[in-house]
Structure 1
C-alpha cells in the first residue's frame, strides 16, 4: 500500500472520514455471529457520496482491496475483511440522509447508511408504509438490505427488498458514479443494471442511495397464533388463509414447540399463548385497508378448527397482544444462544415441498446424531425456512461447530433434491462462496464470474465473497 495514501485520503474525507485506531476498528472486524474475524489497514467513513467516489478512485488506482460494511448485522461473513490486513473497510454509516419523500408517487429516496427503522418511520410520518420488516431493523442499514436482498416477515405480501427498488446510485470500484436513481415504474431500455447490484453483497460496487417504493398504510391488522399437528397442516392452512384473505395475508410463520420452549425459558416476560403445547404453531397476520381483517381471520380459523386442520388458536385483541405474539417469533434466534452452539441453515423450498423437505431433513439429521436438537422455523408463506441445529445437551460447543460442513452438506443436499436454494435471504458471503459451486452448474458460475470481472477487473471489490474470480 502506498505510504502516502492515508494523507491523500484524509485530504479528501476530512478529519472524521478515516478510522485508524485499532480499538475503534475492532468491533467492525468481527461479524455479527462472531464466526468470522479479520484485519483491516483502516476504514474509510465518508460523509458525502462525492468524497466516497474520490476515495475509491484513489484506492482502486493503488490496488487496495475494499470491503463495504453497513450495520454489520450480516450472518454469512459478507462484510468482514480477511486476515491479511491489506483490505480497507468502506463504512456507509455517515451517508444517512433521507433525500426525499413523495407520498403522491409512493416513493422515498434514502442514502445507504439510513437504518431500516428510520426509513420505516419516515414513510409512516408521510402516511405511507415501507414494506420490508426484519428483526434487526433497528440496526441494519438500507445499503446492507440492498446488498443482500434482505427478506423478512412480509415477503409473502410485498416481496424481497429487490421488489421495493425503483432506482439506485452506486459508486463503482474505480470511483465512477452510476446515476441510476430513477423513480420510474416502467423503464424498458435494455439491461436493468440495478438488479445486478441488489444481492451482490458489495462485490460490484458500493450502493450509496436508493429510490424505494412505498405502499398504502394498512388501516388495521389481525394477528393469530395457531396450533397445528404437523408441517403439512401448516402448509394446508396457508392455502386456506390465502383463499380467504387474498393479498391481505401479509405474514405466515412456522414455529416449532422446541423453539417456543427456548423463548419461554430464556426471554423474560414471554408467555405461552395457548393452553396446551403442540408440535407446531403458525403465527399469521392479515393487514389491509379494509376494516374487516379480524372478521376474516376469525371466520377462516373457525372453519379450519371445525375441519380439524387447526387444534387451537389465539387472536390478538389489541396491538399490545399482537406485539407479544410477534415477539415469540422475533426472539427465536436469540433464544437459541443460551442453549449452546447452533448450526444455522437459511434455505428455501417451493411451498408444496416444504413438508417433505422437513421430514427428510429431520430424519437425516437424527440418523447422523440423535442428540441434535432441530429448531426449524421461518417464513413458510414464501418457502424460506431456518433449519437450525442446536448442539446435543452436554456436548462441547467447539466440537459441534467443528461439524458445520458435515451438517451443511447433509441439509443442503436435501434442499437441492427438493429444488430449493441453500441461501434464501442471508446471502453467500464467505460462508457459502465455495459450497454454492456444488449446487449451481458451471454455466451459471461462469456467467457470474464474467459479471464480476466486467465490473471489477482488478478483483478489488469485497474479494472472496459471493463468487471466486
Structure 2
C-alpha cells in the first residue's frame, strides 16, 4: 500500500467520478466509536447510492492504494469502524443505501440494502406479518451491512441463530471493485465455496456488503415475558433446561442478569422502572413466542410452578400486558447504556460451553477480587453461553484511575475463558481491539488460513487494514 491516501488527486478523482449526492463532509461522527478509545481520520467520506457507485469508489481506491473503511451505524464496540494509524483512509458510509428491495412473505424472505437500519427492517417485516428476529440494544442505529459484517448476535440467538443464520444471499463489492451478485433467495445453493459465509463476519476486511437477502419467520401468535429470581447462575442454567423441556423452541430469549445491572440503572438511569424494591442477586428474563392455540402466560406460570417446586426460583413476575413486556425488556436493553455512563475499566464479550458458565463466573469474581476493589457487571445471553463480563471501578472511583490495570484485567479474564474452552469474542467481533487477543488465543492453522484468504482476495491490503488481522 502506498502512502498517498491524502493525495488530493485521489479525492479529485472521487469527486469527478461519483455524483454530488455521494460526497460527504468528514464529520466527527465518522471518526469516533462508542467507547471513545479510538479517534479516526480520513481523506474523504463517500456515501454511495448503489452498488455501482460503491464499486467505483473502491476501484479508485484500489488503483491508488488507498485504505477503505466500511462504515455502517458506527455502533461497533471493538474499533472496526475507525482507524487512526497509517495513511488516511476513504470511509464508505452505507447511509444512503436503505431501500427494501422486496418482501416475499410466502418465501419468508426480505431483500434489503446494507444501510437499512435494523429497527426499520423490523417494521417492514411486521407490515408483511412476518418477523426478522435479530435484535440488539442498538437496533435504532445499527445497519444491516455492519450486523452481517460482524455476524451480530443479540437476544434471540437461542431460537433463531446469529446474523449468519439469517442470511440467504449477498451483494458485495470486492477489493478490486468488482461486484459479486450473490443476492439469491435460495435455501440450497451447493455451487462451490461459500462466499456468503466468508464475507459474513469478516468485518469489512474482504469486501463491502451492499445488500442482503434475509430470512424472515412467521410472527408468533402469542408472546410472553417473565422475570424470575434464581439464587445462582447454576440454578439459572437448570431453569433454562426446564424451560426448554416445557416449551421447546418456543423459548426465544433467556437473559441472565446480576444485581449490579439494576444498581447501575438506578445510579445512572433512574427513569428506567425497577421491578423490585430490593434487587435480587441474580435473575433471568425469559421471552417466549408460541403458536396459535397456546397461551404464553399460562405456559410461563406452569414453568414457574415447576421451577419453584424444584427449588430453582424464589420469586418472579409475568408480564400482564405489552406495556409491561416492554418495561421488562427496557431493563435488559438499557444496561449497555448504563455501563457506558459508569465507564468500564475493561469490558469482555465472551462465550463458554453452557456447562462451564457457572464455574467461570465464580472463578472470575475471585480472580478480579484479587486484583483490586472493582465492581463486576456480568449479564448476557445465557441461552447461547454469551456473557458480557465487564469490570468497573468501585463506587466513587473512575475508569482513568485504573487505566494501568486494564490490560492485566483483560488478560486474566481472557486466559480464564480460553482455559475453559471458550471464546474471547462471542458476538462483537475482533476489530482493532482484539487483534492481539486473536493472535494469542487463535488456532495457528486457522490464522494461517485467514491470512491466506486475505492475501488472495485483497492482495493490496486496502480493505479495513488493521482490523481482525494485523496490517
TM-score (norm: length of structure 1): 0.97
1:275 shift after superposition: 5.4
Equivalent positions of 1:236-385 (< 5 A) are 236-274=238-276, 276-290=278-292, 291-369=294-372, 371-385=373-387
Alignment-derived partner of residue 44 in structure 1: 46
Deviations 1:347-399 (A, max 9, x none): 00011110011111111111111x10011000000000000011123434213
Alignment-derived partner of residue 411 in structure 2: 409
> Counterparts of 1:338 and 1:145 in 2: how far apart (Å)?
24
Alignment-derived partner of residue 101 in structure 1: 103
Alignment-derived partner of residue 161 in structure 1: 163
Equivalent positions of 1:45-84 (< 5 A) are 45-84=47-86
Which deviates the most, 274-283 or 402-411?
A: 274-283
Which deviates the most, 427-436 or 341-350?
A: 341-350
Alignment-derived partner of residue 7 in structure 1: 12
> Counterparts of 1:418 and 1:447 in 2: how far apart (Å)?
24
Aligned 8 A contact 1:362 1:374 in 2? yes
> Counterparts of 2:8 and 2:44 in 1: how far apart (Å)?
13
Aligned length: 465
> Counterparts of 1:156 and 1:428 in 2: how far apart (Å)?
22
The answer to whether structure 1 residue 397 and structure 2 residue 396 are counterparts is no
Residue 237 of structure 2: SS of its match in structure 1? helix
Which among 179, 186, 193 is matched to residue 181 of structure 2? Answer: 179
**Could you list the runs of 5+ residues in structure 1 that have no partner in the other structure?**
none
Residue 397 of structure 2: SS of its match in structure 1? coil
Which among 436, 441, 459 is matched to residue 443 of structure 2? Answer: 441
Structure 1 191/84 Cα, relative in aligned 2: closer, same or farther at 3 Å?
A: closer
Moved over 6 A (4+): none
1:342 shift after superposition: 3.8
Alignment-derived partner of residue 462 in structure 1: 464
1:341 shift after superposition: 3.7
Aligned 8 A contact 1:38 1:85 in 2? no
The answer to whether structure 1 residue 110 and structure 2 residue 115 are counterparts is no
1:85 shift after superposition: 4.7
Alignment-derived partner of residue 237 in structure 2: 235
> Counterparts of 1:378 and 1:357 in 2: how far apart (Å)?
14
> Counterparts of 1:308 and 1:271 in 2: how far apart (Å)?
28
Deviations 1:307-326 (A, max 9, x none): 21101000000000011011
**Could you list the runs of 5+ residues in structure 2 that have no partner in the other structure?**
none
Residue 356 of structure 1: SS of its match in structure 2? helix
Residue 211 of structure 2: SS of its match in structure 1? strand
TM-score (norm: length of structure 2): 0.96
Give the alignment's Cα RMSD to 1 decimal: 1.3
Residue 16 of structure 1: SS of its match in structure 2? helix
